[in-house]
Amino acid sequence: MKNFKINISEVAHKIPPSGIRVFFDLVLGMKDVISLGVGEPDFVTPWNVRERAIDSIEKGYTSYTSNKGMVELRIAVSKYLKRKYSLDYDPEEEILITVGVSEGSDLAFRAIVDPGVKVLIPEPYYVSYGPMTSLCGGKPVFIKTDPRNGFKITPKDITRSCDRKTKGIILNYPNNPSGASYSKGELKNLADVIIKKDLILISDEIYGELTYDSEHVSIATFPKMKERTIYLNGFSKAFAMTGWRIGYACGPADIIGAMTKIHQYTMMCVPIMSQFAALEALKMGDRSVFEMKREYRRRRELVISRLNEIGLLCHKPEGAFYAFPSIKGSGLSSMDFSKELLKREKVAVVPGTAFGESGEGYIRISYASGIDKLKESLDRIERFMKTIRR
Ligand SMILES: Cc1ncc(COP(=O)(O)O)c(C=O)c1O
């Protein structure tokens, strides 16, 4: 009898598996590996946040909520964004609570991308953006950025990458994996060209709180930008809440309305206990975030100075918790470097190519790990570099 075989849809068949996952499948099953691979805070969610979720369960809050998210939470998000970034969003019409920025960005792409439409994606980029565009039938247009310019996209890069079919652009700053961020002046110049080219902007600012040397500025605050920006943020990174799966999308009412429709048919709502937890996170003021940020900053200093001493040249990340050093001096490809480092020294990093072609010659190191682990793995990387140079 002929075996039954499901034909996977062409679009699902064509999207590549995440480069991070492909590499980390190798790590699974290996003993004593120090992983600097995952983009996840090593802190546990602050206790009062956990307690609020426990309390909500004990009180029997186990139902669906409004599809848009609990109104109290949308109001709290609106106030937080006003206080932190001078953003003005109406909790009724312009804010949607999502299952992390992951769902927020998926909804954003689905709400604006029709088949054939092009979306600009600056490299190196967070792994989801390309596949999300393709899943909508759109065409991702990757823009290489210059490491000498700190991997930042310029207005010229945008202008020369646009054609008649270009509808949108995604910006992620501080950036995963490069840590690059933008000053107010740089953002203003980008905003001008985004307006001139009549693009819709998806602005993934999930690492906004983790900006070290200056204030994070949201590009949606520039004149005429709010009406064309889908602003994405969440709780995973700043509040150490990755497992709670909660974030939010803000934007003009018509776009948020379209995203809400898709969300209604797919997620319905974010789990209610996560919404209670998020409400508490926004209530607790800035102290916990400030303390975590201070610790990340300390780790950043250690990691960047050691990498440069070892000869893995690395610009100073302005935000997030990643270093993106060049491994070009090793003579190895990103993948071979990462595999050899794993095999010989049991340190797992992510090959730069997971973040686009121009990531060749780089690796991503997450410094969301304790300082002792970081020191030990940097010692191992140094030893590894000595062995391959011989
Ligand atoms: C740039 C960026 N956007 C979105 C996400 C997904 O975040 P969330 O946990 O909110 O879905 C990540 C996670 O690593 C990220 O680095």
The CATH number of the domain holding residue 255 is: 3.40.640.10
The pLDDT tens digits of the residues spanning 147-205 come to 999 999 999 999 999 999 999 999 999 999 999 999 999 999 999 999 999 999 999 99
Ligand 1: residue of 207, 237, 242, 322 to mutate (most ligand atoms within 8 A of CB) is 237
Residue 234 Cβ contacting ligand 1 at under 6 Å: yes
Measure 103 CA to ligand 1 centroid, in angstroms. Answer: 9
Asked if the structure places residue 3 within a domain, the reply is no
- Give the range of the structural domain holding residue 29, as residue numbers without chain letter: 10-45+288-389
Range in 4-13, 112-121, 151-160, 332-341 the model is least confident about: 4-13
Residues 237 and 361 in one domain: no
The pLDDT tens digits of the residues spanning 65-117 come to 999 999 999 999 999 999 999 999 999 999 999 999 999 999 999 999 999 99
Residue 145 has pLDDT above 70, yes or no: yes
Distance (Å, whole) CA 67 – CA 157: 38
Residue 172 Cβ contacting ligand 1 at under 6 Å: yes
Asked if the structure places residue 2 within a domain, the reply is no
From 262, 283, 304, the end of a domain falls on 283
Measure 50 CA to ligand 1 centroid, in angstroms. Answer: 21
DSSP string over 44-75: PPPHHHHHHHHHHHHTT--S---TT--HHHHH
Contact between residue 249 and residue 98 where contact means Cβ atoms under 8 Å apart? yes
Q: How high does pLDDT run on average in the chain?
A: 95
Asked if the structure places residue 52 within a domain, the reply is no
Instruction: Label residue 335 by pLDDT band (50, 70, 90).
Output: very high
Which residues are CB-contacts of 199 (< 8 A; sequence separation ≥ 6)?
Answer: 120, 158, 162, 166, 167, 168, 169, 228
> Long-range contact list for 157-165, CB < 8 A, 24+ apart?
157/122, 158/120, 158/190, 158/193, 158/194, 158/197, 158/199, 159/193, 159/197, 161/120, 162/120, 162/197, 162/199, 163/118, 165/116, 165/117, 165/118, 165/139
From 265, 283, 301, the end of a domain falls on 283
Asked if the structure places residue 54 within a domain, the reply is no
Residues 90 and 118 in one domain: yes
Residue of higher predicted confidence among 227 and 6? 227
Question: Please, which residues bridge with residue 152 across strands?
Answer: 146
Closest atom, ligand 1, to C-alpha of 247: 10
DSSP string over 70-111: -HHHHHHHHHHHHHHH-----TTTSEEEESHHHHHHHHHHHH
Residues 246 and 296 in one domain: no
Closest atom, ligand 1, to C-alpha of 245: 9
Axis crossing angle, helix 334-345 with helix 371-389, rounded to the nearest 10: 110
Give the residue-averaged pLDDT of 343-351.
Answer: 95
Measure 329 CA to ligand 1 centroid, in angstroms. Answer: 31
Residues 300 and 265 in one domain: no
- pTM score above 0.75: yes
**Number of residues written out for the chain:** 390
Residues 317 and 337 in one domain: yes
Residue 389 has pLDDT above 70, yes or no: no
- Within 113-208, where are the H helices? 129-135, 155-161, 184-196
Task: Give the CATH number of the domain where residue 301 resides.
Answer: 3.90.1150.10
From 283, 315, 343, the end of a domain falls on 283
Residue of higher predicted confidence among 390 and 342? 342
**Sheet with strand 350-351: strands edge to edge:** 322-323, 363-366, 350-351
Residues 156 and 234 in one domain: yes
Report how many domains make up the chain. Answer: 2
Distance (Å, whole) CA 238 – CA 235: 6
Closest atom, ligand 1, to C-alpha of 39: 14
Residues 218 and 293 in one domain: no
Asked if the structure places residue 364 within a domain, the reply is yes
Residue 390 has pLDDT above 60, yes or no: no
Residue 176 Cβ contacting ligand 1 at under 6 Å: yes
Residues 236 and 319 in one domain: no
Closest by CA position to 275, among listed 58, 34, 103, 100: 100
Residues 131 and 270 in one domain: yes
Asked if the structure places residue 1 within a domain, the reply is no
Atom 14 (ligand 1): residue with closest C-alpha?
39
Give the residue-averaged pLDDT of 25-36.
Answer: 84
Measure 61 CA to ligand 1 centroid, in angstroms. Answer: 27
Asked if the structure places residue 50 within a domain, the reply is no
Distance (Å, whole) CA 152 – CA 157: 10
Distances (CA, A) of 235 to 60, 172, 240: 24, 16, 7
Measure 55 CA to ligand 1 centroid, in angstroms. Answer: 27
CA-CA-CA-CA torsion sign (373, 38, 317, 242): negative
Residues 320 and 267 in one domain: no
DSSP string over 343-354: HHH-EE-EEGGG
Residues 261 and 381 in one domain: no
Measure 273 CA to ligand 1 centroid, in angstroms. Answer: 20
Asked if the structure places residue 158 within a domain, the reply is yes
Residues 149 and 244 in one domain: yes
Closest atom, ligand 1, to C-alpha of 320: 16
